[in-house]
Structure 1
């Protein structure tokens, strides 16, 4: 079956040039970058070149790029290093809609005595800036926010928040897992101290990630070793890093063009669904990343269940999700959508469709046809 893949926020297919760039470092050039012999020096040169590419993608300096295993490690390293840098402060300010991996770490830190303040969002998923302004103060060690939400695509004003954090002497961490490759990332403009993302979200391979570390910040490692300027121990995943650099080189110039294409397709999808299925609602509003659409089907007759709808769509060759892949498989309603005011039932009746740079008009039409026919079949069954 030829799939219509609408789950790019979970992972993306590596670009052909990414795979091509990786292959030699999986076979012929297998040296360890820390070795002093010719194969090691060859690997080290590739690592240096890759770091320069990622730095250019971030409009940062190569010394500010630390390679990790992915966004989860990057974000955990950033949060824990920030708290270690300001041990006299015991407060963390975050949002109520962060990714599960961040929320679980913050819950553990709360058990250790840190005060974790979650800032709410409105019905459109927009951050409550008055609440954030009231929360950040002299006891705040860190403000940790995602750049773009993984379920709704809603963009947070992280540059504005970074300025607020710094005004109070706090550090700013940004989870850019869903914005890297979709939005321009200029570290000077964002103003954050730390920023993490994963390679597999921007058309490179799984198992590789980046943590941007501002020059002025002394990063304390979680994994000790001599690699990454003593900031992240462990032999570097050179094939993954080379692949990530290739993706960054491509997206640095092409992401704006692709964003326009994806936004057009996303808007076509939403408008067509809302027209064909009165009662469907879009979750999230205002500034959103171009590729993401969260739709709630709870307003339709029959109280459609999102999981049942997903399974039916799969039979039509359409792959989507209810939300974060890291939370998939569970039957709990989305904490993101509930924070926006949706009831548990409404959250369970919502699906996320996330497009990619290779998504086509024909695929969107196929998705729409499958979605509308499936919903109507379920409605008839519910009414029978």
Structure 2
């Protein structure tokens, strides 16, 4: 995307831009004329003023979730909050060493549970329904007298499904266990009352609710504090659960973000629901697209859409549209979404799935642009597939007319010279391309040995060719990180339509 292009941001589940009101409140806490003191230095005015700001923010966060201010523990974000809740329980536990979570949790939960399993805790992983829901019945079937903690998210970060936490809490407490809830994707999007829902601990992150990155909180019910061991030591801050100098400006930003969310939750949700319906109806009307978990209880903010046409890759939607092919953590790993595969999609379908997430600043123009991107990608895939050509398989001379008719003006191929009849040499492909007035280039890349230099060289060749370009590279590892790196680099060049 060039610097002059407009970015249509529909990846609010990954992170949100800070609200202008949040930025203004944080700025007051930064400069020499502001409230910059250490909140722990209460022997002078600078410190007491900072302390007052921190405590006001604590009240603002507590008010959004129906808690008391002294039950809010500041952390660096939901990942740390999750670690503190789970490891904190484990370190203090004298019995009840059975834990329950689900297969579709965030990696911050799954990886922490894996760590605890190596320390002798047994972990049960609940499977979702085909609609991506974790049911109270599944919890009841897994819980037992040795269960000490159940950890489930309130809103799934890829599907947008809601978990019936209130029903689950009754089952958990009847068994004498604690309930931890990851609310990173729920905060500010759906009403939360920790008392009414029966939640013992709840993780939050500011950057999902138009606050700054690097700050979050953990709600810890007052009467279970002694059952949670601190993971950071050095001063006994935050009821002894989390030591460290408090970041006043970030905390104030989170407080403001939560106060704004409390006042605008209903209006935001209603407006986003209207935009979500507009997007889903238009995209599904294009055909060959299904919405995952469509009939589940869900928030309207997050949509999971699977394209059923062969040859579709999420990057074909274009750089000017910011969406995700999976969660940010899975995207970095270059693997199919564990949420989608646990919900019944195979790896191929998961690879053709796009997460679209809407937020406070989403406009009708953003939605309509997204629909046009889906339409263009679907038309391209259908055009190539109609003659038997699919961008996900090797190029042959017989494919060139279909490629040309689909609108491509150049092809790149790393097919070695001298291959057999079933895999023709590059010169045969190039000759067929030239007859159609297309440009064809050869760039050798050794399968399984792709580094930054090879990725950059492949992308530079795309830059130099008439657009749009179809690039075919046989890496020997199409489903792994190498393929993802090539796809990302090639698609970064304007007009590179497929790989």
| Same fold? TM cut 0.5 | yes
The match for 1:15 among 16, 19, 24 is: 19
Note if 1:313 corresponds to 2:318: yes
Alignment of 1:339-350 (within 5 A): 339-350=342-353
Is the partner of 1:268 in helix, strand or coil?
A: helix
Residue among 12, 29, 38 paired with 1:32: 38
Q: Secondary structure at the match of 1:227?
A: coil
What residue in structure 1 maps to residue 335 of structure 2? 332
Question: Which whole-Å deviations, capped at 9, do the CAs of 1:131-185 have from their partners, x for residues lacking one?
Answer: 3211111010100000000000001111111111110000000000000010111
CA contact (8 A) 2:127 2:342 kept: yes
Query: 1:168-183, aligned counterparts within 5 Å?
Result: 168-183=175-190
| Aligned equivalents of 2:40, 2:15: Cα separation in 1 | 30
* Matched position secondary structure for 2:180: strand
Displacement of 1:119 in angstroms is 0.6
Q: CA–CA distance in 2 between the matches of 1:173 and 1:56? A: 19
Larger radius of gyration: 2
Deviation at 1:108, TM superposition (A): 1.2
Is the contact made by 2:77 and 2:206 (CA closer than 8 Å) also made in structure 1? yes
In the TM superposition, 1:36-47 aligns within 5 A as 36-47=43-54
Aligned to 1:245: 255
TM-fit CA distance, 1:37: 1.6
Moved more, 132-141 or 198-207: 132-141
Q: 2:208 aligns with which of 197, 201, 204?
A: 201
Matched with 1:2 is 6
Which structure has more relative contact order (CA 8 Å, sep 6+)? It is 1
TM-score by length of 1: 0.95
Give the match's secondary structure for 1:240: helix
Mapping for residues 351-362 of structure 1, pairs under 5 Å:
351-362=354-365
Q: Which residue of 2 aligns with 1:284?
A: 293
Q: Any idea what SS the aligned residue of 2:281 has?
A: helix
Any unmatched runs of 5+ in structure 2? 390-401, 403-499
Q: Distance in 2 between matches of 1:331 and 1:131?
A: 30
Please identify, of 54-63 and 193-202, the stretch whose mean Cα deviation from structure 2 is larger: 54-63
Could you report, residue by residue, the CA deviation over 1:250-279 in whole angstroms, capped at 9, with x for unpaired residues? 111211111111111111111111111x22
Of 236, 243, 251, the match for 1:233: 243
Give yes or no for contact 1:150–1:323 (8 Å, CA) kept in 2: no
State the partner residue of 1:90: 97
Report the Cα distance in structure 2 between the residues aligned to 1:18 and 1:144, rounded to whole angstroms.
Answer: 30
Corresponding position: 1:67 with 2:95: no
> How much is the aligned-residue C-alpha RMSD, in angstroms?
1.3
Counterpart selection for 1:304 from 309, 312, 320: 312
Show the counterpart of 1:121.
Answer: 128
Distance 2:132 2:305 in 1: 13
Deviations 1:259-312 (A, max 9, x none): 111111111111111111x22111113111121100011x22x24233x33xx4
TM-score of the superposition, structure 2-length normalised? Answer: 0.74
**Regions of 4+ moved over 6 Å:** none
Tell me, yes or no, if the aligned pair for 2:135 and 2:164 is still in contact at 8 Å. no
The correspondence for 1:220, drawn from 221, 229, 236, is: 229
Higher mean C-alpha deviation, range 123-132 or range 245-254: 123-132
Ranges in structure 1 where 5+ consecutive residues have no aligned partner: none
Structure 2 residue 107 is the aligned partner of structure 1 residue 107: no
Aligned residue number for residue 145 of structure 1: 152
Deviation at 1:85, TM superposition (A): 4.1
Residue deviations 1:306-353 (CA, integer Å, cap 9, x gap):
3x33xx421xx1100012112223331111001111111111110100
Q: Which residue number corresponds to residue 377 of structure 1?
A: 380
Alpha-carbon offset, residue 91 of structure 1: 0.7
Please report how far the alpha carbon of residue 245 of structure 1 lies from its aligned counterpart in structure 2 after TM superposition: 0.8
Cα distance in 1 for partners of 2:355, 2:107 equals 16
